[in-house]
Amino acid sequence: MAIQAYQEVMSVYGGRILPYRHPYTQFVKRVGERLVKVSGMENIKWEFYVVDSPEKNAFVLPGGKVFVFTGILPIVQNEDGMAAVLGHEISHQLARHSAEKLSFAKILLVLRLTLALFGVDPSFFSNLSMDLLMMKPFSRKCEIEADDIGLQLMAQACFDPREAINVWRRMETMNDVNVPQFINTHPSHKNRIEYLQKKVNR
């Protein structure tokens, strides 16, 4: 699954990946390696890619392949901000969220089959209702957990965890559309900022 996901991403963005020695790539790699050292996952072959694209995004694939888009760089602004983003993404790998989501999807499939076995039409739970009631809240749980672990990694790697709050504030001001939290896989920016403030100020 990891290899297939990597190949799919490279087929889309491979032509826009910045060279290894590009300052942006070195910036991301420098911050990422400091976080990896305190994560306990140095046995994984981590690779950091910077994609020359305006999306304000970053993500990690199973196996330690991290992709950061240049569109998010004006939002992170500095090493602490970059650590907030990368700490979050590395935490997904640390918490094995990809495997958890796959297992959770299998549970939903078993639930549908069980309903059918007992004569209950599984279409009673539409794909939309399954998504809204189960998958999206589960995804939000993973995001919150990654935020929490990410702050710990930042502190352990001697970055300033308070900068995570500023990153999400900047992200909030640059977002044109405010998607209601119950139909989003991520916590709303407002809720995320409030959560991070409570964690940082504890």
Q: Show which residues are catalytic.
A: 89
CA angle centred on 146, ends 48 and 25, rounded to 5°? 15
Token duo for residue 164: 């995570």
Q: Where does residue 47 fall: left (phi above 0), alpha (psi -120 to 50 degrees), or beta otherwise?
A: beta
Q: Where does residue 64 fall: left (phi above 0), alpha (psi -120 to 50 degrees), or beta otherwise?
A: left
Amino acid in position 170: R
- Cβ partners under 8 Å of residue 183, min gap 6: 132, 136
Number of Cβ within a 10 Å radius of residue 1 = 11
